[in-house]
Chain A
Amino acid sequence: MIDSGKAVIFFYTIKPSGGTGAIDMDILKTKQGIHKSRGGLIRSFVSLENGKIKEITISGDFFLFPEDAVFKILDNLKGTPASREEIHKNIEETYEQENIQSPGTSPSDFTESIMKALEA
């Protein structure tokens, strides 16, 4: 067997996990957008201010590596104009910056879930 623990290059930097994800929103009173990707369910909760995303959180059984990059996705979305195009572009940029892999789930799937929350 090759000892390629060295050969395999990992781009992940793991930060201490357990970010609070605490947001100023009662998610049980917020309408949720539900979208099922091949990789799992994505439930989005979004609040708006002046046509831009103010608060956003996500719950779901999808997979995404590195896991804590999900907080980057959410942080970067704050302040983004609430249009499908802008949201999709924003998530794609974070995917690139953070080298995100999410088998069966794509930026389009997150966008779809968020759009459903906005249209709910």
Chain B
Amino acid sequence: MEEWRFIDFGLVDIRDMMAMDEAILKGDGGNTFFFWTPKKSIILGYFQKAEVELNLAQCRDYTITRRISGGGIAFSDDRCRQINYGVVGTIDNELFPLDIIDSYKQICGILIDTLVHYGLNAAFRPINDVVVESRKISGNAQTRWEGKLLQNGTLLLDFDIEEMLRISNIPKEKFMDKKIASIREGLTWLDRELGEQRDMEEVKEIMKQKFKERFRVRLKPGMLSEKEKELTEALLPKYYSPEWIYR
């Protein structure tokens, strides 16, 4: 059985995490599955402009950075009840399909299997969402580099939706085709769905289990390689720089 590296970065500053994320994609550590939980922060998608997408006056106590993949803002409140994951893998047309939507679906399957484990009716909603009863519970973003893919995503355990609405400028056009009146009806999170709080470590264990089953691999705890550490150091200034964040 193939062995993959597994890393749990714990509670992190998102700028450091995005540097490590890119370093894992471009490094020599091989196929990797990893977790982190972001401190209070906002990550802009590659194509998003901060002053367009955010209500910057409301964002003063948030750490803001940008990621190398597209998609929408990843918002983390100070409840810190989100499991973020990363998958770096070689696109082999078997575990990871060349077709972009197929590969999203394959990796999002880990989240669906986890939610189904908790008795929820979870499904993949192309291109990149996982929904429970048509409410989004997980957003995912993928980029590709030299035959490898990097997919990041989040599983919301709890979520301050009013706070997210305060910090962002989301136009009504975003929802017009989703048969919902507003974002309030379009999002959900695990605590709400289950009517109780589950221990985050327990949910992570289930995700790991579902990952192993889906990809038929072993997960071996590991850490960043020397090369990845060097790459991270080299990438850190970018993720802290206004030129990258507010471009």
Among A1-46, those with CB < 8 Å from B are 1-8, 10, 12, 14, 17-22, 27-28, 32, 34-36, 38-41, 43
Among A3, A8, A18, A36, the residue within 8 A (CB) of B244 is: A18
In the complex, the answer to whether A17 meets B98 with C-beta atoms within 8 Å is no
Task: Mark contacts of B162-183 with chain A using CB atoms, 8 A cut-off: 1 yes-contact digit, 0 otherwise.
Answer: 0000000001011011000000
Give chain A residues whose Cβ lies under 8 Å from the Cβ of B177: 36
In the complex, the answer to whether A65 meets B174 with C-beta atoms within 8 Å is no
Task: Mark contacts of B122-160 with chain A using CB atoms, 8 A cut-off: 1 yes-contact digit, 0 otherwise.
Answer: 000011100000000000011111111000000000000
In the complex, the answer to whether B45 meets A101 with C-beta atoms within 8 Å is no
Task: Mark contacts of A37-77 with chain B using CB atoms, 8 A cut-off: 1 yes-contact digit, 0 otherwise.
Answer: 01111010000000000000111111111110010000000
How many contacts A-B (CB < 8 Å)?
A: 121
In the complex, the answer to whether B141 meets A63 with C-beta atoms within 8 Å is yes
Q: Is B219 an interface residue (CB 8 A)?
A: no
Q: Is B71 an interface residue (CB 8 A)?
A: yes
In the complex, the answer to whether A40 meets B72 with C-beta atoms within 8 Å is yes
Among A17, A27, A65, A67, the residue within 8 A (CB) of B51 is: A27
Q: Is A103 an interface residue (CB 8 A)?
A: yes
Among B48-96, those with CB < 8 Å from A are 48-49, 51-53, 68-73, 90-95
Among A5, A27, A67, A103, the residue within 8 A (CB) of B127 is: A103
Q: Is A79 an interface residue (CB 8 A)?
A: no
**Chain A nearest CB: distance from B180 CB in Å?**
13
Other than the known A3-B90, A43-B52, A103-B101, what 10 A-B pairs have Cβ atoms closer than 8 Å? A3-B92, A5-B147, A10-B144, A10-B147, A22-B247, A27-B52, A60-B45, A62-B47, A63-B71, A64-B47
Closest Cβ neighbor of B148 among chain A residues: A5
Range of interface residues on B (Cβ < 8 Å): 35 or more
In the complex, the answer to whether B72 meets A17 with C-beta atoms within 8 Å is no
**Complex-state Cα separation, A13 to B49, whole angstroms:** 24
Give A residues with C-beta under 8 Å from B.
Answer: 1-8, 10, 12, 14, 17-22, 27-28, 32, 34-36, 38-41, 43, 57-67, 70, 101, 103-104
Give chain B residues whose Cβ lies under 8 Å from the Cβ of A57: 49
Give chain B residues whose Cβ lies under 8 Å from the Cβ of A28: 51-52
Among A6, A14, A64, A101, the residue within 8 A (CB) of B145 is: A14
In the complex, the answer to whether A101 meets B244 with C-beta atoms within 8 Å is no
Q: Is B202 an interface residue (CB 8 A)?
A: no
Among A7, A18, A39, A59, the residue within 8 A (CB) of B52 is: A59
In the complex, the answer to whether A8 meets B98 with C-beta atoms within 8 Å is yes
**Complex-state Cα separation, A37 to B69, whole angstroms:** 18
In the complex, the answer to whether B72 meets A61 with C-beta atoms within 8 Å is yes
**Chain B nearest CB: distance from A39 CB in Å?**
6
A27 with B144, Cβ < 8 A, contacts A8-B92, A8-B98 known:
no
Closest Cβ neighbor of A43 among chain B residues: B52
Closest Cβ neighbor of B99 among chain A residues: A103
Q: Is B2 an interface residue (CB 8 A)?
A: yes
In the complex, the answer to whether A36 meets B176 with C-beta atoms within 8 Å is yes
Give chain A residues whose Cβ lies under 8 Å from the Cβ of B95: 1
Q: Is B46 an interface residue (CB 8 A)?
A: yes
Give chain B residues whose Cβ lies under 8 Å from the Cβ of A61: 45, 47-48, 70-73
Among B46, B73, B173, the residue within 8 A (CB) of A67 is: B46
